[in-house]
Structure 1
Amino acid sequence: MGQGQKNPSNKFIILDLIFYAAFPYVLWKFGRNPLGDYAAMLISTIPGFLYTVYRFVKERQFNIAGLFIISSLFLGTVVNLLSGSAELMLWNSVYLGLFYTVIHIIAFVIRRPFALYFAVDFAHIQGYERKSSKKLFHERGIFKWFQMIQLLFIVRGLFMAGLKAYLLNKYGVDGYDQMLIYRQIVGWVFGVLIMGMFFYTKVPIQNFINSQLNESQERKTSIPT
Structure 2
Amino acid sequence: MKNKIVVFDLLFYLALPYLIWKFGQEPLGDYYAILLSTAPGFVYTIVRFAVERQFNVTGMFIMVSLFVSTLVDILSGDAFTMLQNSVYVSAGFGLFILGTMIIKKPLALYFGADIAYLQGHKREDSLKLYRQKTILPAFYFITGIFALRGLVGAGLKYYLIGVYGVQGYDRILFFMKVNGWVFGALIAVGFIYSSLKIIEHLEKQKENDVPDPDESELVR
Normalising by structure 1, report the TM-score: 0.92
Deviates more, 1:170-179 or 1:136-145: 170-179
CA deviations on 1:3-43 (whole Å, 9 max, x unpaired) are: xxxxx222111111111111111111111111111111111
Aligned ranges 1:1-225 → 2 under 5 Å = 8-218=1-211, 221=215, 224=219
Residue 95 of structure 2 contacts residue 151 of structure 2 at CA under 8 Å; is this kept in 1? no
Rounded Cα–Cα distance in structure 2 between residues aligned with 1:118 and 1:36 = 39
CA–CA distance in 2 between the matches of 1:71 and 1:147? 22
Contact 2:164 2:172 in 1 (8 A): no
In the TM superposition, residue 200 of structure 1 has moved relative to its aligned partner by 2.2
Tell me the CA shift for residue 175 of structure 1.
2.0
1:172-197 deviation per Cα after TM superposition (whole angstroms, max 9, x unaligned): 11121111111111111111111121
Identity %: 45
Q: Once the 2 structures are TM-superposed, how far is the Cα of residue 78 of structure 1 from its aligned partner?
A: 0.6
| RMSD between aligned residues | 1.5
Structure 1 segments of 4+ aligned residues over 2 angstroms from their partners: 218-225
* C-alpha distance in 1 between matches for 2:168 and 2:134: 44
**In 1, Cα distance between equivalents of 2:179 and 2:83:** 17
Alpha-carbon offset, residue 90 of structure 1: 0.4
> Structure 2: how far apart are the matches of 1:155 and 1:77?
22
Deviation of the 1:219 alpha carbon: 7.9
Cα distance between partner residues in 2 of 1:192 and 1:19: 19
Which 5+ residue runs of structure 2 have no aligned equivalent? none
- Residue 108 of structure 1 deviates from its aligned partner by 1.3
Residues 95-137 of structure 1: per-residue CA shift (max 9 Å, x gap):
0001001101111112211111001001111111111110000
> Which is further off, 214-223 or 19-28?
214-223
Structure 1: how far apart are the matches of 2:85 and 2:212? 60
C-alpha distance in structure 2 between counterparts of 1:110 and 1:101, whole Å? 15
SS for the counterpart of 1:218 is coil
Runs of 5+ unmatched residues, structure 1: 1-7
Q: Secondary structure at the match of 1:183?
A: helix
| Aligned-partner Cα distance in 2 for 1:41–1:133 | 41
Distance 1:202 1:35 in 2: 48
User: 1:198/1:83 Cα in 2 relative to 1: closer, same or farther (>3 Å)?
Assistant: same
After TM superposition, give the deviation of residue 94 of structure 1 in Å: 0.2
Tell me the TM-score normalised to structure 2 length: 0.94
Task: Compute the displacement of 1:71 (Å).
Answer: 1.2
Match of 1:213, as an amino acid? K
